[in-house]
Amino acid sequence: MNFHTRKWVKPEDLNPNGSLFGGSLLRWIDEEAAIYAIVQLGNPRVVTKYISEINFVSSAKQGDIIEMGITATDFGNTSLTMRCEVRNKITRKSILTIDKMVFVNVDEDGNPAPHGKTHIKYIEEQFENEDN
Ligand SMILES: CC(C)(COP(=O)(O)OP(=O)(O)OC[C@H]1O[C@@H](n2cnc3c(N)ncnc32)[C@H](O)[C@@H]1OP(=O)(O)O)[C@@H](O)C(=O)NCCC(=O)NCCS
């Protein structure tokens, strides 16, 4: 799993107890998964369909640097399933895990549309024709 995006936990991200608010983290991870799906499926129109159990493994506090990791686990006909983990960038301690996040590739009318993709494409593969 590649950990791409980093966040610096700031006062506006905290709950009243002074630790990272779960809603803030879910917003970030939903956006991260959407970007991953857009890049993998080559379509800016993707929607969140399903999120499995969310395990808030440990808390983060103000000033912590966290990083978000996503990897595709299944390419369906119109869907893409991903696994997610958020961890502390410095200590590598796990903060959140989600086994399944399903995004659906949709057309202009918002209906599911086949994406035609079958495997993870890495950045080199996406641009390999442009190098030649
Ligand atoms: C996404 C949406 C277009 C799918 O419509 P649908 O009628 O469920 O479509 P389908 O039954 O054809 O399913 C589409 C894909 O989602 C998968 N899917 C459907 N329900 C699922 C579920 N509960 N869990 C996992 N995958 C599911 C199907 O297996 C299918 O995948 P496949 O084509 O790869 O086999 C529709 O549910 C929708 O618009 N939902 C709202 C999305 C949204 O607004 N998200 C933002 C949250 S605020």
Of 92, 97, 105, the residue nearest 26 (C-alpha)? 97
For residue 117 and ligand 1, the question of a CB distance below 6 A is answered with no
Mean pLDDT of 7-28: 97
Give helix then strand counts, H and E, for the chain.
Answer: 3, 6
Residue 121 within a domain: no
Domain of 19, in residue numbers: 2-114
Going from the C-alpha of 58 to that of each of 17, 91, 102, 129, the distances in angstroms are 14, 12, 24, 43
How confident is the model over 83-118, as pLDDT tens digits? Answer: 999 999 999 999 999 999 999 999 999 999 999 999
Total structural domains in the chain? 1
Q: Rounded to the nearest 5°, which phi and psi values hold at 76?
A: -90, -160
Is residue 132 assigned to a domain?
Answer: no
Domain CATH number, residue 63: 3.10.129.10
> Is residue 105, in this structure, part of any structural domain at all?
yes
pLDDT band per the 50, 70, 90 thresholds, residue 54? very high
Residue 94 and residue 56 in contact, taking contact as beta carbons nearer than 8 Å: no
Q: Is residue 128 part of a domain?
A: no
77 lines ligand 1 (CB under 6 A): yes
40 found inside a domain: yes
Q: Is the CB of 26 under 6 A from ligand 1?
A: no
Q: What is the pTM of this model?
A: 0.94
